[in-house]
Amino acid sequence: MPELKFIAMGLSVGLAAIGSGIGMGLLVGKALEAIGRNPEATPKIQTNMILGIAFTEALTIFALVIALIIRFV
Amino acid sequence: MVSIVLVPEQIFAIGAMPVTNSLFTTWVGIGVVIAIVLTVRARLSLVPRGMQLVLESVYTFFANLCESVLGSKALAEKAVPFIASIFIFVFAANIIEVIPGVGTIGIRKEPAHDVEVPVEVTPPALEEFVPETETPTGYYAEPYQVAAPEKIIEEAAEEGHLVPLFRPPSTDLNTTLALALISVVVTQIVGLKALGVRYLSKFINFSNPISFFVGILELISEFAKIISFAFRLFGNIFAGEVLLTVMLMLVPYFVPLPFYGLEVFVAIVQAFIFAALTLIFIKIAITDHHEEEHSAQGRHV
């Protein structure tokens, strides 16, 4: 049933984005706090922040891959 | 209908080896990178300008990153070629997706035999002849118009579907899986070479039950790294390609521009992530945990 596929696509990514969004919000918040305390260390903090963001975003990307598999395979 | 397929299609064959569009694009991308580097190398100057400046800044960035993560300059010099190569290859593979023509210029194949042509959508005049099994969702009593997707599939089945000639290499799970395997296997080899057989005690450790359990977890986590590397890169770039295709299908002028910017940013960041994570895992692999423990205990005495 093609409608269930669409629902499954939407739900999978939508639910995965909840956790990822909260995680990234916390991460970037702490990074901004750290930059505020020590503006000289900004490049180091930024680099590590981008690294952390890639990790948490990867979880949503996994869900997106599952969604694409549901739809196109 | 836009051509969004998960598996890259074969466009020609060299002897008995099938060549898919992503493999072909990989060769073209490698050729362009080699051409750029050789052109710059032919006219090196002491004060870099232009493309030489760009390449030198990439190298310097990774040399500094390796030195700050690995600790010593000697180790950094050994690691930089591998890490910078990963970055350059993954960046080239990612950035191909924003080049116009990639994914759109292709060969139109005849209607494939495996495309299911669904039952025809009844025009309104012939409704009285419709047996109830013709609606695909026969659960519904009233004729349910799911005409849109099937009509599109029908049209696509009539005119064949487009097989793109170029496809960004990172959208092929084979490429990303190969890169992930290379990364993880090289990490293991470097760890074995640096620590000898004691590197295996990270995974198989019989000193106490907790260490045994932690060893099993470490082993599983190595395999999880392979999956995570492969799918992170694949998912980001493939989803970006789908996003660009859909945006261009909806509004072809001006509106997709921010999405192109996003894709360029994602290309750079994902390439950096791949290289930096490999570097960090190498650092973890060559760090000797037991010596740290023993030296810490020794200091307390």
Give the ipTM.
0.76
Q: Which amino acid is at B94?
A: N
* Cα atoms found within 13 Å of the Cα of residue B290, Cβ hemisphere only: 9
Contacts of A69 in chain B (CB under 8 A): 6
In this prediction, residues B192-219 reach a mean pLDDT of 86
Contacts of B232 in chain A (CB under 8 A): 54, 58, 61-62
What is the distance of C-alpha B276 from the center of its chain? 15
Contact A54 B242 (CB under 8 A): no
Hey, how many other C-beta atoms are within 10 angstroms of the C-beta on B100? 8
User: A-B interface: how many C-beta pairs under 8 angstroms?
Assistant: 48
Contacts by residues A3-11 (CB-CB < 8 Å, ≥ 24 positions apart):
A3/B137, A3/B146, A5/A70, A5/A71, A6/A71, A8/A67, A8/A70, A9/A67, A9/A68, A9/A70, A9/A71, A10/A67
Contact B232 A58 (CB under 8 A): yes
In this prediction, residues B264-293 reach a mean pLDDT of 85
In this prediction, residues B174-183 reach a mean pLDDT of 95
Taking the CA of residue A36 and the nearest CA in chain B, the distance in Å comes to 23
Does pLDDT of A10 surpass 80?
A: yes
Name the band, by pLDDT with cuts 50, 70 and 90, for residue B298. Answer: very low
Tell if the pTM clears 0.90, that is, is over it: no
Contacts of B269 in chain A (CB under 8 A): 50, 54
In whole angstroms, what is the distance from residue A43 CA to residue B80 CA?
A: 20
A42-to-A31, B249, B271 alpha-carbon distances in Å? 9, 40, 21
